[in-house]
Amino acid sequence: MSTKSKPAKFRLDEKTLIKIHNNMVKARVLEERLIKMYKQNDGYFWIGGPGEEAFSIPLGMQVKKGEGLDHDYLHLHYRSSGILLAMGAEPMGFLRQMKNVAADPFSGGRNFGNHASIKKWNVVPITSTIETQYASAIGTGIAQKQHGGKGITIVNGGDAGTAEGEFASCLVWSTMPKRELPILIIVANNRFGISTPYASVHGEANIADRAKAFQIESKIINGNDPEESYFEIQKAMEYIRKERKPYFIESRLSRLYGHSSASGANFVPHEEDCLIEFEKRLEANGVLKRKEMDALREEYTVQFLEMAKQVRNEPMPDPSTIYDHTYYGQKGKYF
């Protein structure tokens, strides 16, 4: 949006807009704190979701949260902090996993940062191996198809990963006649693999065209626009909950700090920043004042800095816990 053009009016009510904005700021500031932690040697590796907030917050806000088949299952990728924060996850957990301390609620200090796992909300452990989530999504999709009800399976991943077999398996398994699966299949298209440009590997014009080949309802959306994301996710979820069939969203969005710490984790100025664009619209429409938005950012910045200081002094996991949770419910060594 150019600063000269008249800002578009909102369709969402003010309360929802303010909630989305609050969570977007929270997610952004959290990721920026995780990057700082990595750079201060308070973590071994950073990967995360700055740039995906305009899509991930509206998604997290609309999840049917809970445990078991009547609730939604989430098979997420490593850029999903916004989804989980919007669902109500505590920021502290992300800092603890970043520092790999024993109190990390997702992996007991054993996994990379932003690899959440939350049993009480059906959040299946996030893996570093890309695309495996599209295979595990088939499993909960089948279970939910058999169970009935309103619960659905949600899977997200990146554009480059769609080259892998699990993605194709998900399209095949979710569209078998009379056994279609209630899965929201999401591809977050930031136009890059680690350093591989989208245009150099995709023969098709849109990733969503692959869904068409399977007669899956699909939509390409501007994932940098929180309002468009909100309504399109709402529409997709309503369809899946009712029809018990898959729906495909290709969400085009930004990667604001590069791939990960492996590529420097530095701000990329030429990418569209969804938060800046949203704040311009909020201000122009009189929903929030610049001062209020700055104060909110400052509040989260101070809050997460204090948390990081606390985490720095927390104990690392005890070596005896190395095999905990290797298998369901397992504690301690298995040999």
Ligand X SMILES: Cc1ncc(C[n+]2csc(CCOP(=O)(O)OP(=O)(O)O)c2C)c(N)n1
Residues of this chain that interact with Mg ion (CB under 5 A) are 158-160, 190, 192
Cα separation, 62 vs 71, whole angstroms: 12
Return phi, psi of residue 187, to 5°: -120, 120
Residue 232 CB, shortest distance to ligand X, in Å, is 19
The footprint of ligand X on this chain (CB under 6 A) covers a number of residues equal to 15
151 residue type, one letter: G
Nearest residue (CB) to Mg ion, 77 versus 99: 77
200 binds ligand X, rule: CB under 6 A: no
Which tokens is 58 given? Answer: 């509206």
192 binds ligand X, rule: CB under 6 A: yes
Q: What is the DSSP string of 68-100?
A: STTS-EEE--TT-HHHHHHHT--HHHHHHHHHT
Give the end-to-end CA distance of the chain in Å, rounded to a whole number: 60
**Chosen residue from 97, 122, 140, 190 binding ligand X by CB under 6 A:** 190
159 binds ligand X, rule: CB under 6 A: yes
CB 250 within 8 A of CB 208: yes
What does 43 bind: ligand X, Mg ion, none (CB cut-off 5 to 8 Å by kind)? none
Q: Which residue is nearest to Mg ion (CB)?
A: 158
CA proximity to 14, closest of 293, 284, 229, 286: 286
158 binds ligand X, rule: CB under 6 A: yes
Residue span binding ligand X (CB under 6 A) among the ranges 134-142, 168-176, 178-186, 187-195:
187-195
Residue 226 CB, shortest distance to ligand X, in Å, is 19
C-alpha angle 138/83/258, rounded to 5°? Answer: 95
- Tell me which residues in 71-130 interact with ligand X (CB under 6 A): 79, 128-130
Residue 292 CB, shortest distance to ligand X, in Å, is 32
What does 50 bind: ligand X, Mg ion, none (CB cut-off 5 to 8 Å by kind)? none
161 binds ligand X, rule: CB under 6 A: yes
48 binds ligand X, rule: CB under 6 A: no
156 binds ligand X, rule: CB under 6 A: no
Helices (H), the chain: 14-39, 53-61, 81-87, 91-99, 132-147, 165-173, 208-213, 226-243, 274-284, 290-312
Beta strand 183-189 pairing with 153-158: parallel
**Chosen residue from 193, 209, 297, 303 binding ligand X by CB under 6 A:** 193
- Total residue count of the chain as it appears in this document: 335
What does 108 bind: Mg ion, ligand X, none (CB cut-off 5 to 8 Å by kind)? none
The secondary element (H helix, E strand) that includes residue 4 is none
Cα separation, 95 vs 110, whole angstroms: 13
Nearest residue (CB) to Mg ion, 45 versus 192: 192
Please give the residue ranges that form the binding site for ligand X (CB under 6 A). 79, 128-130, 157-161, 188, 190, 192-194, 259
